[in-house]
Amino acid sequence: MYLDLDWPEVVALVAGVLLTGSIGGILAGLLGVGGGIVVVPVLFWLMELLDFPSDTASHLAVATSLATIIPTSISSMRAHAKRGTVDTGLLKLWGPLVFLGALIGGILSRYIPGEGLRAVFGVVGIIVAVNMAIPKTLVLSDHLPASRIVNGCIAGVIGFISSLMGIGGGTLSVPTLSLFGYPVHKAVGTAAALGLLIALPAVAGFIWAGWDMPERPPLSLGYVNLAAVALIAPVSFLCAPLGARLAHAMNARYLKMAFAFFLFVTAVRMLMS
């Protein structure tokens, strides 16, 4: 029976979700990777602990993570904007296609099985972990492609994949921008704004996709569990500015290495689930 837990177990679960939200918020501001990279696997394992089917747990984890990204992105974006590291020109160039790609991903989630979502998270997670662990950033060019069509394709793919992973824009956009010699602080700051353009349409798509699906926990709107959002979103919102301050005050190399290891192990476990 779902939610058939003793009070100590409930307290432990709530504490774990709150801790996850705080770590996700700090990482969103610090590394631009988006809190979803932590929130999705934790929510998935919590849902399985509560005996929800793996397929349902995957969709709930991704959709709920996307909903928590909305306030986190706003908080992180405001903090970076105060430091002048949000590139409005890039937002105008990439924003519309990021939005469209995320909307398509959210809608198509209705037809993608849970193992498909976990496979996307696992494969991309491993690629991101390896990229973070590499000491020297690979640079293909010293500027973004001149073609608006190429930029649109890049943005659309980032939005689409991010929506299926339940993550903000930073996980994919920051390393992509780094390939074109884009300043890292501007990449992180702009990624926070892209996260909002991913989360809003993707959440709408997941709400539609799960509107009449059975075996969802109480207080769910489509595949978005409002109870988990209510726990995670506030602490993520409060912790994101802390991560932004740390990003401008420290060399995050060792932290990136530790997180890359964590992400690699998590991605492999998601693939094996």
Average pLDDT, the chain: 84
Give the domain extent around 190.
7-272
Q: Are 160 and 25 in contact (CB under 8 A)?
A: no
Q: Which pLDDT band, with edges at 50, 70 and 90, does 1 fall under?
A: very low
Specify if 188 maps to a domain: yes
Specify if 176 maps to a domain: yes
Q: Which pLDDT band, with edges at 50, 70 and 90, does 7 fall under?
A: confident
Specify if 120 maps to a domain: yes
DSSP string, 145-164: -S-HHHHHHHHHHHHHHHHH
Specify if 2 maps to a domain: no
Is the pLDDT score of 3 beyond 60?
no
Q: Are 259 and 27 in contact (CB under 8 A)?
A: yes
CA distances from 74 to 36, 135, 168, 172, 231 (A): 14, 30, 11, 18, 17
Specify if 1 maps to a domain: no
Query: Would you state the structure tokens that stand for residue 44, as one six-digit string?
Result: 């998935």
DSSP conformation class of 86: -
Specify if 62 maps to a domain: yes
Specify if 53 maps to a domain: yes
Is the pLDDT score of 54 beyond 50?
yes
Predicted pLDDT at 6: 65
Specify if 97 maps to a domain: yes
DSSP conformation class of 233: H
Please state the rounded mean pLDDT for residues 136-142: 75
Specify the pTM.
0.85
Q: Are 68 and 232 in contact (CB under 8 A)?
A: yes
Q: How many domains does the chain have?
A: 1
